[in-house]
Structure formats: structure tokens, C-alpha cells
Structure 1
């Protein structure tokens, strides 16, 4: 056949011959008769694999590889769009090759038809059969329709798509930012280094369909980060320029999202698995779920939502929200005030808030929180309540020593506070309540606090368990104002600081420091081994039924101890600190039912409430409210052998009672007393024991019980009544003492009572006379006198010895000699004594004979 550029076929069978070198043959076939068969025969030298079957519009092009020979069959396709089929009129039924090869339309459909674009922007449409599409340069649209198709976008920002019914498609966007739209069946997407940003829109929903992303040989697993951005999965190369976005990979944008049943890819395959990935060349959905996906924020404020599987979330700068949902998750807030949270069902989570004040919300399972210098103020809201769950706080290497950390109870929270004063971790609701009966919460605590840097002194223990924390105790700190601090049922260290504070440590072993101000420090009765230091101000310290230690010193003010210790073997101690240097700086006083430990400076004292069993003079030491020891921490110059006072020491030393400038009633106790009425008309009742009573000015009544022994009475100025015991008593009378009355009860064998006259009084100054049954010893002018009641009516009322300062004594048996001698001079009772020289000479002889 000779060369024909265009050939018009008939409605019947036509034969077309094309040989190598014929140029271009255009066939316009119109066969439509039944049974008609049109045939194209290629001559010698043209082989099937040397031809490319192309579609251009409605036409089929058979193009030889020499670039000059081709056959065009017009209107081979039924339409120009991607839904086109073979035309029933214009196709050739057979294409024959000289070597016996044969192509039918079915063979061509199976081999696929090629569409090629230009360097410009092209719109290429395939057909309902298989396609091979090449966009080449420019921003192209490649629409392959149905069939099994291969699409290559080439350079430019291209759209590559197939119909939903297409199957076994391969889409390769090439360089540029491309959009690849898959089918309901198996699709393969190819991405190479340098391809830019490609978007996959996958529709696969047919059972057993497997969609694959194939990453080229220059991409290894170590180069790739899988990210969740909204509802999409981004496969991001570390070069920052290349990534694949799979649209709607996740079922929603929220943190409860799962893998979509239609839009995921079942596999991501690596042409180069990399040196670190020798055994695995692909990531399945299960692999991706296990590895987890990444969410990354920007330098601004971001809200990042994970999914129901594993997440790795990075907020970066800004005030971010990171919500990882369930799964196993790592959350890094970065700089800014961030919220990091997971669902209660999440497990094995890791939280690192970063710089800024962050809130970290954990799960019901294992959670790990990280904190260090520069982290700011972070808050943990932990809700772990699953059996066996363990929550851990990791203190990073910037925290070098355990003493850099202080554990504080603030309300219901535990604060892990760094010594720099700016960084702390707050664990919300660590305690069951804000009150002092609070325990550790069963849901909101962390089971361990771990030091990742052991520190120089921490080689044996690098973590604190709940038991360690309970033993170490937690701290409560007040402010410069008035605070109410409540501890818990474990050990507490409480510091009120300034202000009028309430410190309630509850049970446990506790240390309470009130600081400045008028404070109330207390523990429960079940607390043990407690330490109280009220500090400056007037403080109240309420102890337990067990061992309590109270500290007092110069500057402490007026503190009150309310001690209730009644457990067997309990020992309560008052420590007098080093500011109290000598024991004589301290005076022990009974005031009502209380014991006051009073410093000589007149401003500082410790009051122990209800030390005595009653306010009366028959009171003993209470079995519940006393302190077993008072200890001097500074031994003092004369205190080298004894640094403490026991109850026995106190009983032997005796306690002091002091009146005021007014009328007082002072009652001692059944032990030794030192009583000072001071001014006013006072009653001093020392009870039993060995006692010293000083009435002071005023008309006073000084008395002891009949069982008291070795008592000392000094009425002082004023008309006083001194009531002695059945044992030895000493009564002191000084010039100016006025009119005193002694009522002596002495009847016990071997007892000796004394009247001692003070300085300036000698035997010549005293006048003895009888007044009814009383013995009166008075001054010569009658201004001072002492009467011994019932001297003449009762032997037990007599005083055995009357003494002068110079040591001279007048015995009871010699008294009557002086009474008789003085009565002979006719001086009326109470009258001023004025004797003649002879009378005085006579009296001096009597005095000399009896005063020895």
C-alpha cells in the first residue's frame, strides 16, 4: 500500500497497512455493519513494545518510538472525558503485527492507554479502562476515571484523580504541591524526596482494599515524622520541605478520633528501610498506632488534639492546649502557659510542661510528669484509680539535691517547691480534704517522686515513695498575714510566719513553728513526738496524749500550753533555749490551776494550763497536764551538773505564788510553796509541803495546813495573821511589822517553832505581857506587836524558841520569867514603857539571865 495521510473507512470490513517510515496515518473508520471487522496491520520492523498507545481527545494514537511514525484512529473513544469507553463504530477490531502478535480492543484496554501533557498546564482525561497518564510540566489535572491506572503528575502543582470504582491505581505527583484523589479500591501513592507537599484524598471503603504510600529510595524511616493536623495525617520529612498529607485519615479533629474506615492508607512502604530499619520495610496501621503520631504547635497559641491512639505532642511557644485523648502519649508543652491532658482511659503517659505555668491532667492509669528548674508553676490533676497504676514525678537533672525540694500541703494540694522560690509543682487534691484529718487520696496522689540526678548525698535513694513522704512529713507555710494552716494525719512541719496564725497539725509526728504574732498551735490527741515553737507573740500550744516538746526563750512573749498527755510512758518536755542562760532567770509560779514558767525580764513566760489538779491549796500535780521535764539547753555557768528539772525537782524546789498591789487570795498546793502577797490585804494559803510565805504590805492572812512542815512566815508591814502547822514553823517579825497574830498548831513530837525578830530589834526593845490567854510581845511604844494566840490555854500553841538577829535566844520555858518581871513594873497593856533607872537596872538583870 502506498503512503496515505488520511484514510476513510467503510461501514464494512476494512484493512489498513502501516509500515515503518510511513509517517502519520489517520484512519477515519465508520464501520457499523454487523459482522464487519476492521484490521490494522503493522509491517516488518514494528514490534508491539515499540508502540505507545495514546489518547488525545476522542482519538487513539499508536506512536512509534522513532518519534516520526504514528497511526491515529479517529473517534476511537465514545467521549472526551474520563468516563469514555471504546466507540462501537470507530474502533478497529484487530491490530496485527508481522511477527504474529495481535491486539484486540480488549488487549488495548488491558495494556492501558497513555495520556501525555505538555510543559504547560494541561487537563488530561483518561477513560473507563486502564490509563497511563503523564502531566509533565505545568499545573496539570489528570483524571484517569475507572480501570487500573498509573498517573504521573511531573513538575508543577497537579491534581491526579481516579474514579471511585477504579482499582489498583498508582499515583505519583512528582515535584510540586499535588493533590492525589484515590478510589474505593486499592491505591498506591508514590512520593520521593523533593516532591514538595502532596495531599492524598483517599476514598477506600471496599473490603480487603489496601492503600499504600510508597516512599522513594532517598527517604528512610528515620527521616519521617507522622503528624496529626486537624483530621489529617501528615507524613513529614525532616528537611522541612517535603510532606504527604492524607486528608481525613482520622475520624474527627477531636482527641477521641480513631483511624477513618475509608480515608486511611493501610501501609506506608520504604524503598530504602535505612540502617536502623533493616527488618521492616513498611508501617502498617498497627505499627503507626504503636509508634504514635505527632502534633506540633506554632510560636503562637495553639489547640492540638490527638486521637484515641498514641500521641507525641509538642506545643512549642505560646499558651497551648494539648489534648492527647486515650492511648499512650508524650506531651511537651514548651514555653508558655499550657494545658496538657489525656483521657482517663489513656495509659503510660508522659507530661513535660516546659517553661511557663502549665496544667497537666492525667489518666486513671500510669502517668509520668517531668519538672525542673525553670518549669514555673505547674499543676497536676491526677485521677489514677486503676489497680496497680503508678504515677511518677521525675525531677530532672537541674534539681541536684533533695534539700532543694520542699513538700508543702496547701489546702487539699501537695506542692513540690524548689528552693529558688519560683518553680513548683502543684498536685491537686493529693489529700482527701483541707482539714487536719486528711489522708493521702486514693486517686490523686503520685506513687513516686524520682530524682534523675542523684546528687552528692543521695547515692542510696533516688526516689520518694508515699511511705517516704509520710515519714519525712509535709510542710505548711503561712504568709505575713493571719493564716489558718491545716496539716494531715501524717507528719507535718508547719510555719506560721508573721501574723496571728492557726496551725493545726492533726495526728502524726509534727513540728510547729508559729513565728511572729499571737498564734494557736495544736495537734490531735493521737499525735506523737510533736515539737512546738510558738515564736514571738502570745501563743497557745495544744499538745497530744503522747510525747510533746515545747520550746521557749527570751522574746517568746506569753505562751500557753494545753497539755493532755495521758498515755503510759508519754513524756512531755519544755526546752528553754540558749537565750535563757541561768536557772535563776526562771521562776515557777502557781496561778490558779496553772503553772507559769516566768522569766526574770518580766515580759516572757510560759503558762502550762491545769498543771495542778485544782486551784486550792490541796492541789497536786495533774496526771495529764504536767510536763515531765523542763530542760535548759544552755547549761549556764553554775549548771554544769544538772540541765533539767523533773517533776521531783520541781516539787522539791517549790513553786511561787505572787499577789498584786491589791487584795489577793493565793492558794498553793500540797507541795512546797513560795508565796508573796505583795501589797493589799491578802490571803496566802500554802497548804502542805515546805513553804515560805511573805505577806508584804497590808493586813494579810498567811496559813499552811496542819500537815505542812518547816514553814517560814513573814507577814510584812500591816496587821497580819500567821497560822502555822503541827510541825516546825518559823515566824519573822521586823520593826514596822505592826500588829501580827500567830496561831500555832504545833503538837508533833520533836518539832520546834521559832519567832525571829529582825535587824534593829534586841532584847531591850521587846516587852512581854499577857493578854487573856495570849502572849503579847511588843515594842516599848506599842506600835509593833506580835501575839501568840492561846499561849496560856494550849501547850501546842506555844513557840519553842524566840530569836534575835545576833543569835540570842529565849526559850519557851524562860518566857514567863520576863512576863512576870515586866508585869511587876505596873505598865498597862499597850502603854508606852517608861522605867526608872532602878527599874531598868532590875530589868536588865532579868534579860541577861534569860537571853542567851
Structure 2
């Protein structure tokens, strides 16, 4: 098989011009192939400063210098001019760069480079980092590092990473892959479509603008999307996810997570654990998953799936569709909620008393302000004088579709087996007109007995 070889070196001073290199490959059968390469060699305006394998402090001039660490842990200062810091393949070195004035450049070799930097921030920045060919990685060392690339142009850098320390990494304006690895890291993308991976430790990830992908990894992480359509996944641990603007995909994974879609039409999966989910504004799809979840649809027409576990579901403003799933679930409904449709699952009729589902009405809604009527196979409960309506889908068609109790904020309880008495009594009347928030006296008198028997 062919081997990959890296040839590197520094021409002697005064060797500007061109250099011809012929590469010849032979086989054991006396077969050969060759090719001729011509390399342009430009003269150095400033100084050539080269260290050795020890720890060096190297300084350029006010002109365009070439500064080479040569291995070890080095401090390289360019001062003035457009300086060039070549990375020689195969050398084990960690550098602190200070480009100084001018447009300075860190240049990788033709192979897979590991460019290790420390204290890359503020006045230590270099304007261009070019990894060259191969898979190139810009990395900190094992300590806590700050790598700030907001004012640096990256070319051919496939990965930016911290190592074991608590690192702070700011990405460039381009599309970056940033990995924190071990430690409690702070990773922030730039204006493009970035990929951020926290790794182990309690990490903080922020995508910035663009359509970003973020993975928290292990432990308790905080993930924040920006203005784009982001893909956030917390991983293990009790994580906090905020989608920001845009149509985001948010996944809590394992742990008791706090997830907010914020604005945009978001898709949220709580997955395992007891999650707290807030859809925010927009037309969201929210999935609680397993565990005892608290789900708030927020504003907009949302679709909410409670899943397994004992969930509390609040559709919020907008005409929402709610599917409770298995477990003893609570559905909240209040004023200005619009028309919510609820499909109940796992009620005690079909689970032999194992689950109990309830509907709880918000503050300021009394028992005599709720109007019950049958609509095909559904049960409709309207807050009188308003357009707010809660429909229990298939109440009359499916025993599992019955809520076990309706509860007001004042503590009045209407059991499921008393509902039909109210429906029959109210069927003799038209509901109060829009804006009438109390029952007319004549209607109240006629319904008083049914209300007293039904609501306890």
C-alpha cells in the first residue's frame, strides 16, 4: 500500500526563486513512477526566527517575519508586519501567539495538524489560521484555556477543541465544529451554522446566529439557540435548553430537563425524566415522553403529547390539541385559551382504577360559569360569555376518553358520573350570550339543583 510522507524544511537565506522536487516511487518488480513538482520560494522581508525542542520565547521584528516554535511550550511574538507562524508537522508543541500589528497568519502543514494554542485572546490574536490540507484541529492544552476566534479567519480547520480543563471557546464567523471535551466548558458559536459538543462536565453552549447543532453530553448542561433553526440535545443530566428564535428541535434526553422553545414553530421532546417544557410562542409540537412532566404550550396553536407518566398539561393561549397518554394526568384550562381539544388516555374506566385524569380550571372561573353540552361524540365545556371552550374528544364514544373529575380553582369537584346530569339540564337552554359572564337569574334558578348535586 502507498504510504503518506511529509517532507518539510526551511530553505537557506537567499534561496528565493523556485525549487524543483522529483518524487520517484518504485516497486519490488522494478516498476517505477515519478512526478516533478516546482515550489515557489519567496524571500522573507523580516527575520527568520526558529526555536528548538525546548521551551522558547521568540520575537520578530517590525517587518514581515517567519517565526517557528520548533517544539516545546513557546511564546511567539510577531510585533509589527504581516508575520507567518508555520506549524511543522510531527512536532509536539504548544504555543502562545501574539501577532502584534499587521495581518498575521498561522499556517498548517500538508498533513493532519494539531495546532495547540493557549491564551488566544485579546491582543494575542492572529488574523488568519490556515490548517492547509488534511484534517486539522485547533486545540487548547490540558489546562483551562480561553480561545477567542471572533476576530480570526479560519481556513481548513475542521475542529476546535478544549481538553481536560474548564475552557472558554468563542468560534469564528464561519462554520465551526467546537468540542469542549472534559471540564465545565463555555462554548459559543459565531454567525454561521456551527456544531457544538460539550462533552463531560457542566457545560454552557450558545449557538449564536445560524442553524446550529448542539449536544450537551454528560452532566448538567445549559444550551441556548440563537436566531436560526437549531438542533439542541441535552444528553444525560438535568439540562436547560432554550431554542431562541427560529423553528428549533429540542431534545432533553435523560434527566429532569427544563426546555423552552421560545419563539418559532418548535418541536420538543422531553424523553426520559420529569421534564418542564414551555413551548413559548409559535405553533409547537411538544412531547413529554416518560416521566412526570409539566408541559405548557404557551401562545399559539400547539399539539401536545403527554406520553407516559403523571403529566400536567397547560395548553396556554391558542387553539391547542392535547393528548394526555398513560398515567394520572392533569389538564389545565383558563380564560383566553381559545378552543382546546383533549384526547384522554389511560382513564380509570379502561385501566381498572390505576389512572385518574383530571381537568382543572384556572382562577376566576367558578362552577356556575361552566357550560356543559354534548357535541356529536365529544363533550364541550364552555366558559360562559366567552369563546373559550374545552372539548373532551370521544367522551361518549370511548370509556377511556372520560376525565375522572373536573375541578375549579375554588376546590369544587364534578365527578365524571355526574356530568350527564348537567348536560341534560343545560340542554333545555341556550348558553348565555357573549359577554354575559354570569347565569341569568331565571336560568340559575332552573339549574340550581343540578349544579348543587353535580358539583361537590
**Normalised by the shorter chain, which TM-score bucket?**
0.5 to 0.7
How many angstroms apart in 1 are the aligned matches of 2:138 and 2:76? 27
CA, structure 1 residues 785+649, in 2 after alignment: closer, same or farther (shift >3 Å)? closer
How many angstroms apart in 1 are the aligned matches of 2:365 and 2:118? 63
Is residue 73 of structure 2 the alignment partner of residue 413 of structure 1? no
Contact 1:479 1:496 in 2 (8 A): no
1:634-660 superposed Cα distances (whole Å, 9 cap, x missing partner): xxxxxxxxxxxxx99972133222333
**Counterpart in 1 of 2:287?**
686
How many angstroms apart in 1 are the aligned matches of 2:445 and 2:101? 82
**Counterpart in 2 of 1:783?**
387
Contact 1:439 1:490 in 2 (8 A): no
Compute the displacement of 1:534 (Å): 3.1
| SS of residue matched to 1:841 | helix
How many angstroms apart in 1 are the aligned matches of 2:323 and 2:104? 53
1:329-366 superposed Cα distances (whole Å, 9 cap, x missing partner): xxxxxxxxx99xxxxxxxxxxxxxxxxxxxxxxxxxxx
How many angstroms apart in 2 are the aligned matches of 1:736 and 1:703? 18
How many angstroms apart in 1 are the aligned matches of 2:213 and 2:120? 30
How many angstroms apart in 2 are the aligned matches of 1:714 and 1:630? 22
| SS of residue matched to 1:844 | helix
**Counterpart in 2 of 1:695?**
297
CA, structure 1 residues 723+839, in 2 after alignment: closer, same or farther (shift >3 Å)? same
How many angstroms apart in 2 are the aligned matches of 1:694 and 1:392? 60
**Counterpart in 2 of 1:439?**
90
**TM score, norm. by length of structure 2:** 0.61
**Counterpart in 1 of 2:120?**
495
| SS of residue matched to 2:417 | helix
CA, structure 1 residues 482+514, in 2 after alignment: closer, same or farther (shift >3 Å)? farther
**Counterpart in 2 of 1:772?**
376
1:173-217 superposed Cα distances (whole Å, 9 cap, x missing partner): xxxxxxxxxxxxxxxxxxxxxxxxxxxxxxxxxxxxxxxxxxxxx
| SS of residue matched to 2:261 | strand
How many angstroms apart in 1 are the aligned matches of 2:373 and 2:337? 18
Is residue 201 of structure 2 the alignment partner of residue 573 of structure 1? yes
Compute the displacement of 1:708 (Å): 3.0
Structure 1 residues 357-368: aligned runs within 5 Å: none
**Counterpart in 1 of 2:329?**
729
Contact 1:517 1:536 in 2 (8 A): no
**Counterpart in 2 of 1:562?**
195
Contact 1:769 1:819 in 2 (8 A): yes
**Equivalent residue for 1:513, pick from 147, 150, 169:** 147
Gaps of 5+ in 2: 1-12, 15-45, 217-221, 241-250
Larger radius of gyration: 1
Q: Identify the structure with bigger relative contact order (alpha carbons < 8 Å, sequence gap 6+).
A: 2
**Counterpart in 2 of 1:757?**
361
**Counterpart in 2 of 1:809?**
413
How many angstroms apart in 2 are the aligned matches of 1:703 and 1:789? 14
Compute the displacement of 1:722 (Å): 1.7
Contact 1:691 1:708 in 2 (8 A): no
**Counterpart in 1 of 2:3?**
none
**TM score, norm. by length of structure 1:** 0.35
How many angstroms apart in 1 are the aligned matches of 2:294 and 2:346? 17
CA, structure 1 residues 491+728, in 2 after alignment: closer, same or farther (shift >3 Å)? same
**Counterpart in 2 of 1:670?**
271
How many angstroms apart in 1 are the aligned matches of 2:77 and 2:98? 16
Structure 1 residues 196-595: aligned runs within 5 Å: 379=48, 405=57, 413-414=68-69, 432=88, 438-440=89-91, 470=92, 473-478=94-99, 485-486=106-107, 488-489=113-114, 491-493=116-118, 495=120, 497=122, 502=129, 506=137, 510=141, 511=145, 513-514=147-148, 516-517=150-151, 529=164, 532-535=167-170, 542-543=177-178, 547=182, 550-551=185-186, 562=195, 571-573=199-201, 575=203, 594=214
Compute the displacement of 1:679 (Å): 4.5
Compute the displacement of 1:787 (Å): 0.9
Contact 1:778 1:785 in 2 (8 A): yes
How many residues get paired?
365
Contact 1:503 1:520 in 2 (8 A): yes
How many angstroms apart in 2 are the aligned matches of 1:537 and 1:506? 14
Compute the displacement of 1:781 (Å): 3.2
Compute the displacement of 1:758 (Å): 1.4
CA, structure 1 residues 813+629, in 2 after alignment: closer, same or farther (shift >3 Å)? closer
Compute the displacement of 1:786 (Å): 0.9
Compute the displacement of 1:704 (Å): 1.1
Contact 2:150 2:172 in 1 (8 A): yes
Q: CA RMSD in A?
A: 5.2
Contact 2:85 2:107 in 1 (8 A): no
| SS of residue matched to 1:517 | coil
Compute the displacement of 1:762 (Å): 0.4
Contact 1:551 1:574 in 2 (8 A): no
Compute the displacement of 1:793 (Å): 1.2
Contact 1:407 1:474 in 2 (8 A): no
**Counterpart in 2 of 1:793?**
397
| SS of residue matched to 2:137 | coil
How many angstroms apart in 2 are the aligned matches of 1:692 and 1:822? 34
Compute the displacement of 1:822 (Å): 2.1
**Counterpart in 1 of 2:317?**
717
How many angstroms apart in 1 are the aligned matches of 2:454 and 2:419? 8
